[in-house]
A = this chain, B = another copy of it.
Amino acid sequence: MKQSNIQFDNTGKLRHFLTIEDLPKQTLIDILDTAENFSTVGTQRAKKVPLLRGKTIVNLFFEASTRTRTTFELAAKRLSADVLNININTSSTSKGESLLDMLRNFEAMHSDMFIVRHNQSGAAHFIAEHVAPHISVINAGDGSHAHPTQGMLDMFTIRRHKKEFHNLRVAIIGDIMHSRVARSQIHALNRLGVPEVRVVGPHTLIPRDANALGVHVFHDLREGLKDVDVIIMLRLQRERMQGAMLPSEAEYFSQYGLTEEKIRIAKPDAIVMHPGPINRGVEIESSVADGPQSVILEQVTNGIAVRMAIMSIALGRKQES
């Protein structure tokens, strides 16, 4: 594996966090281990560590997402950084300023990190290619390409419950085709050594070249769930319904919705995950989402620790130099 990719600086340290695809296993392990250290901060009386005091972190959100923005903002504040929230719809790009000129401006203000959310695949990568050397870029979701911090918080959650990756069977269920979350999960699971990753969904929502991703494709949920240790449900974007891609919500639920009955097909100690926000009664039965095997809210909690880990690794790099 080449470490000369854009995510590393010229001393081999992680500078940007754009996609899990090009990262070596050890980098992922380092992130998970660092996140373990941060996971206790949320339960301290004062949820604050001074690691990034005086750093300037800019939330550059080209696509609205209160939930994701909030988790990054909280992670940054708990690291004592200063945070700027920039919603690009309302910003000076409406004055016709180019994206690169806008970036140059934030760079010139001595920003340290851009958290980028964009509805176009590759946006965070494009920005990382063009920023000044003192800036780190974190991908907070780009089109249908990647959502790597979500992928890592999922891995953290799995490791907490299953300890090891090398003996797991994991099923990802739903709209694989359009899901940046699924893509990041698959890359992470493969890299961490999970021997069997399955994707489950209707023909219209599984990419034709899915096998090239290193996964096994299932179109029948019952078959796909058989003996798995981890069940990852994806959010069904309601706008997919309006097209010809899907039958009704009811029919989708009957075929691919996770129910108490179907969950018994998996291993008895299987955990149920979902990136949120959940559509109750569409992709998952309420009693399963709230049931004893669900770790959905743990994922949210772990998301803060994992984002603190990634931010502090990328910016700590400079502190040592």
Among candidates B67, B71, B110, residue contacting A47 with C-beta atoms closer than 8 Å: B110
Q: Mark A27-47, 1 if CB is under 8 A from B, else 0.
A: 000000000000000111111
Q: Does residue A240 face the partner (Cβ distance < 8 Å to B)?
A: no
Chain A residues bordering chain B, tally (CB within 8 A): 53
> Are A54's CB and B64's CB within 8 A?
no
| A86-94, A118-126, A172-180, A214-222 - the one binding chain B | A86-94
Q: Does residue A304 face the partner (Cβ distance < 8 Å to B)?
A: yes
Q: Does residue A212 face the partner (Cβ distance < 8 Å to B)?
A: no
> Are B95's CB and A277's CB within 8 A?
yes
Task: Decide yes or no: A47 and B43 within 8 Å by CB, A90-B64, A109-B74 being known contacts.
Answer: no
Q: Please report the C-alpha to C-alpha distance between residue A107 and residue B109 in the assembled complex, in whole angstroms.
A: 30
Copies in the complex: 3
Task: Decide yes or no: A82 and B92 within 8 Å by CB, A43-B110, A108-B298, A280-B98 being known contacts.
Answer: no
Nearest chain B CB to A70 CB, angstrom units: 6
Query: A-B pairs with the 8 shortest C-beta distances?
Result: A46-B54, A97-B277, A108-B300, A66-B91, A48-B54, A42-B110, A108-B297, A47-B54
Given A74-B109, A97-B276, A108-B301, 19 new contacts (CB under 8 A):
A42-B110, A45-B319, A46-B54, A46-B55, A48-B82, A65-B92, A66-B90, A67-B105, A70-B109, A92-B277, A95-B277, A96-B238, A101-B280, A104-B300, A105-B277, A105-B300, A107-B297, A109-B304, A110-B304
Q: A residues near B, CB below 8 A?
A: 42-48, 53-56, 64-67, 70-71, 73-74, 77-78, 82, 84, 86, 90-92, 95-98, 101-102, 104-110, 238, 276-280, 297-298, 300-301, 303-304, 319
